[in-house]
A = this chain, B = another copy of it.
């Protein structure tokens, strides 16, 4: 997926105008590496003539680049974001850049404050896993760009926002996993977790609306679940979708409720680690065994998942690659090499272990 915007002059055009190599132009305009005074002057004059990124240029000429990038993530205590940050900082380090991280606890106001802080600390660019649900609530990211600071989104796209984003295909990864459960013979499949609404939407269209207002990743996963049901001609049942706060405790409660239904689920799809551990707690309480009684697939592989009995089938996200790819895009933008924004989608991996089996008979809590 690609969205276009009016193309500002590129670094290559500056290089052509100045009659120098692209890397010389990039070094001069990026403020890194050695460039002779004579070439430097030619590049800057050419950049001015063709109107190359006046903001960033003014900044690099007046203050020099800081060789620091900023990273804003929703929750640094989540190992997923820990891996993403590691990927970003490794790539930055290879480029001679330092990385400053701010964690926002999934709160948009903290993200806004973090953006202003990092602008103030003169970072050269930002990678953001944003809590913003739409373009209207992402004015702070536009503000960063207004300061000549490029922004790349990671993990989460923000619909309607014209920024580079590096994500996984949450919808397709979920569709495939749920299709595998259906392929094993499951017809009643629980979805843990769903939109954080208080009241369970009865109608499918209300659920889809709620998902569209949810965090992008979670909304996409729910769509993938619905896609798989549609593909196989299975009916949607609102009772099989968790709603409410996204916590391990709530997941345990909701799965316990599902297991007590007249027609309980024979399989569960868990969209997060806490959704998985909450589900496992509920199964334990109900005296049910993974695979034998209820099949399980989870998102975000963990070293724990492989040592559980039975080992859990998981969708692995390329955490490091999400980070390094986002950093590479950011540096390409800092170098003036990008002409339009893009949505980059990285592959996930389905790791088949032993938590999926055909449904023996309807699992039921007596």
Chain A interface residues (CB < 8 Å from chain B) = 68, 75-79, 82-83, 85-86, 89, 93, 98-103, 105, 110, 113-114, 117, 121, 248, 273-274, 277, 280-281, 284, 302-309
Please indicate the chain B residues that have their CB under 8 angstroms from the CB of A309 in the complex.
284, 308-309
B residues near A277, Cβ cutoff 8 Å = 303-304, 306-307
How many copies altogether? 2
Which of A68, A78, A304 counts the most B-chain CB atoms under 10 A from its CB?
A304
Measured CB to CB, the nearest residue on chain B to A93 is B110
A281 to B309, CA, bound (A): 11
Q: What 6 A-B pairs have minimum CB-CB distances, sorted nearest first?
A: A77-B82, A304-B304, A280-B307, A101-B101, A277-B303, A100-B100
| Chain B: minimal CB distance from A349 (Å) | 19
Which residues of chain B have C-beta atoms less than 8 A from A284's C-beta? 307, 309
Q: Which residues of chain B come closer than 8 Å to A113, judged between CB atoms? A: 98
With most chain B CB atoms within 10 A of its CB, the pick from A98, A99, A284 is A98
Is A103 touching B101 in the complex (CB atoms < 8 A)?
yes
Do A302 and B304 contact each other (CB < 8 Å), given the known contacts A77-B79, A82-B76, A101-B100?
yes
Which of A86, A121, A274, A305 has most chain B Cβ within 10 Å? Answer: A121
The residue on B at minimum CB distance from A117 is B98
Does B102 contact A101, Cβ atoms closer than 8 Å? yes
A297 to chain B, nearest CB (A): 16
Question: Given the complex, which residues of B lie within 8 Å of A76, measured CB to CB?
Answer: 76, 82, 85-86, 101
The interface residues of chain B lying within 8 Å CB-to-CB of A105 are: 86
26 residue pairs from A and B, CB less than 8 Å apart? A68-B117, A76-B76, A76-B82, A76-B85, A77-B85, A77-B86, A79-B79, A82-B82, A86-B103, A98-B102, A98-B113, A99-B102, A100-B100, A100-B101, A100-B102, A101-B102, A101-B103, A248-B303, A277-B306, A277-B307, A280-B307, A284-B307, A284-B309, A302-B304, A304-B304, A309-B309
Chain B residues closer than 8 Å to A103, beta-carbon distance: 85-86, 89, 99, 101
Q: Report the Cα distance A211→B267, complex, angstroms.
A: 48
In the complex, besides A77-B79, A86-B105, 19 extra interface pairs with C-beta distance below 8 angstroms are A75-B82, A76-B82, A77-B82, A77-B83, A77-B85, A79-B79, A82-B82, A85-B103, A86-B103, A89-B103, A98-B113, A99-B102, A100-B100, A100-B101, A100-B121, A273-B303, A281-B306, A281-B307, A307-B308
A296 to B306, CA, bound (A): 17
